[in-house]
Structure 1
Amino acid sequence: MGRCFLFSLLLIALPAAAQIYKYTDADGNTAYSNQPPDGVKAQPVELPPINSVKPPPSAPPSPQRHSSEQPRSAYEVLELTGLPTTEALRANDGTFNVNVLIKPRLQGTHLLRLWLDDQPYGQPGNVPILQLVNIDRGQHRLAVQVIDGDTVIQQSPTVTFTLQRMHKR
């Protein structure tokens, strides 16, 4: 049984290791085949070794943090408040405030920056009450980031809300 299995594997592997032949056909075209045609002078083609790429060595695992440890400058709480999520927010002129709940207080050179519909909105600041002005009606996504210069320290969960604006006639 073992010899039959090995013989079968050898037969399957033979086509992968087959020789390639180059020859000129009756019309003068160069042709390639795995079997030399009868009556035609064919030259064996030497193929380069098969390319293989080894995966890069994996980096050593980073040290595990204990669950009580936090990364430096992390905030325990960072979230937007004051936005209704189950009903539309009514703001006829599209202007409204959102509050940022942050614990501990904003540190050192850190600033708050709003993200409206996945784009930065307004100027970064250190006041946890932020105003949005002339926002179009419809559904929007809003988040707040704590930044230090160009570095994002932390981002709040994104809140999806619907803004309702009444047009006066």
Structure 2
Amino acid sequence: MGRGFLFILLLIALPAAAQIYKYTDAAGNTAYSNQPPDGVKAQPVELPPLNSVERQAPPAPPAEASSREQPRSAYEVLELTNLPTTEALRANNGTFTVNVLIKPRLQGPHLFRLLLDDQPYGQPSNVPILQLVNIDRGTHSLAVQVIDGEDIVQQSPTVTFTVQRVHKP
């Protein structure tokens, strides 16, 4: 698998390293191509290097300051929305979406993870609209966690809701 992946990566990178040529076509227009045309004087174009930014870890807070401060939440608001709590959620196939209200926005490496009936549900994601599929009828609890790898950064309050699935004959 490793060699195949490396081969595919090299194939993708080759076009990025290809030479670009500038020439004047028969109509007098300036044109660019990755291959010099036959019978036309083409000049190689020197492209500037690509920009790149290395990700830097934020500096660690001094040990003294962190021990004196009270622990606080990373996010001011973290809650699930788009779930009825006073009436049943009608989802005939058990599929529905929930929204995550979060302030400030989700930070860099953090992801959302749903907890359905106190168990992780689905794959962690950075999208604040999460879909649940084929949920059984009945009463369930749902919460969302913000995670950083395996660490839980913060968890929303748990919402209890009821799924109603009506089957038509």
TM-score range, shorter chain: 0.5 to 0.7
Q: Which residue of 2 aligns with 1:165?
A: 165
Q: Which residue of 2 aligns with 1:63?
A: 68
Q: Which residue of 1 aligns with 2:118?
A: 118
Looking at structure 2, the residues matched to 82 and 102 of structure 1 have their Cα atoms a distance apart, in angstroms, of: 14
Q: Which residue of 2 aligns with 1:81?
A: 81
Looking at structure 2, the residues matched to 102 and 94 of structure 1 have their Cα atoms a distance apart, in angstroms, of: 25
Amino acid at match of 1:166: V
State the TM-score, normalized to the length of structure 2: 0.59
Looking at structure 1, the residues matched to 95 and 68 of structure 2 have their Cα atoms a distance apart, in angstroms, of: 47
Looking at structure 1, the residues matched to 144 and 168 of structure 2 have their Cα atoms a distance apart, in angstroms, of: 32
Looking at structure 2, the residues matched to 64 and 77 of structure 1 have their Cα atoms a distance apart, in angstroms, of: 20
1:131-146 equivalences under 5 Å are: 131-146=131-146
Amino acid at match of 1:78: L
% identity of equivalent residues:
80
CA shift for structure 1 position 63 = 3.2
1:137-156 equivalences under 5 Å are: 137-156=137-156
SS at structure 2 position matched to 1:114: strand
Q: Which runs of 5+ in 2 are unaligned?
A: 1-66
SS at structure 2 position matched to 1:78: strand
CA shift for structure 1 position 167 = 1.4
Looking at structure 2, the residues matched to 129 and 117 of structure 1 have their Cα atoms a distance apart, in angstroms, of: 19
CA shift for structure 1 position 121 = 0.2
Q: Which has the larger radius of gyration?
A: 1
Looking at structure 2, the residues matched to 108 and 129 of structure 1 have their Cα atoms a distance apart, in angstroms, of: 17
Looking at structure 2, the residues matched to 129 and 64 of structure 1 have their Cα atoms a distance apart, in angstroms, of: 33
SS at structure 2 position matched to 1:83: coil
Q: Which runs of 5+ in 1 are unaligned?
A: 1-61
Note the alpha carbon deviations across 1:25-62, whole angstroms, 9 max, x for none.
xxxxxxxxxxxxxxxxxxxxxxxxxxxxxxxxxxxxx6
SS at structure 1 position matched to 2:134: coil
State the TM-score, normalized to the length of structure 1: 0.59
SS at structure 1 position matched to 2:112: strand
Looking at structure 2, the residues matched to 146 and 168 of structure 1 have their Cα atoms a distance apart, in angstroms, of: 39
Aligned residues: 103
Amino acid at match of 1:103: K
Q: Which residue of 2 aligns with 1:103?
A: 103
Q: What RMSD in Å do the two structures reach over aligned CA positions? A: 1.4
